[in-house]
């Protein structure tokens, strides 16, 4: 299993979004960003945990397509009217979360399980059983 880095040269969408973004990145709060992810190998499965703070369970989409596991979520900014002040600094991010992983051939894709608790998405991806090479006798004629 390998991580496809979302900040790499191959992330064309991000390249074009960042190219036109203002110099002050803190003002660019409505953009696409990647959640923090941990991947652990645990016996017969891989465990992938992703931080999705402030996201509702109903807004998370996990999919597998041709060996590519994708985690997506959308976090919308609440529209608040400030009555007694103004926002000086806003560091919380809003927008679309996206992270993808190449599962390779060693994961049984049909049995991946997902759970979500306290802003953390946990995926359990069972390893595919390794088949021992079969040995057979070939008769020489």
pLDDT higher than threshold 50 for residue 23: no
pLDDT at 81 (0 to 100): 56
CB atoms within 10 A of CB 15: 12
What is the domain partition of the chain in residue ranges? 2-16+32-77+92-126
User: Given a cut of 90, is residue 27 above it in pLDDT?
Assistant: no
pLDDT at 1: 61
**How far is C-alpha 17 from the geometric centre of its chain's CA atoms?**
19
Strands 120-126 and 37-42, by their bridges, are: unpaired
Give the CA radius of gyration of the chain: 21
Residues 38-67 have a mean pLDDT of: 91
Q: What is the average pLDDT score of the chain?
A: 76
What pTM did the predictor assign? 0.64
pLDDT for the residue 32: 59
pLDDT tens for residues 132-141? 777 888 889 8
- Could you tell me which of 29, 51, 31, 47 has the C-alpha nearest to residue 39? 47
Tens digit of pLDDT for each residue in 68-124?
999 999 877 665 556 567 777 766 667 788 888 898 888 888 899 999 999 999 999
**Mean pLDDT value across residues 23-43:** 67
Domain 2-16+32-77+92-126 sits in CATH at: 2.60.40.790
pLDDT of residue 96: 84
> Which comes out higher in pLDDT, residue 13 or 122?
122
More confident residue, 15 or 91: 91
As a residue count, the chain comes to: 141
| 52 CB neighbour count, 10 Å cutoff | 21
């Amino acid at each position: 299993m390998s991580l496809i880095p979302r900040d790499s040269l191959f992330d064309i969408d991000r390249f074009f979004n960042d190219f036109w973004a203002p110099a002050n990145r803190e003002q660019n709060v409505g953009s696409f960003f990647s959640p923090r992810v941990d991947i652990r190998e645990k016996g017969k499965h891989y465990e992938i945990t992703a931080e999705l703070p402030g996201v509702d369970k109903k807004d998370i989409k996990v999919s597998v397509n041709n060996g590519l596991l994708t985690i997506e979520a959308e976090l919308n900014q609440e529209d608040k009217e400030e009555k007694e002040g103004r926002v000086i600094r806003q560091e919380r991010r809003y927008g679309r979360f996206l992270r993808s992983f190449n599962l390779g051939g060693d994961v049984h894709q049909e049995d991946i399980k997902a759970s979500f608790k306290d802003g953390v998405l946990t995926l359990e991806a069972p390893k595919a059983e390794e088949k021992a090479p079969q040995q057979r006798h070939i008769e020489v004629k």
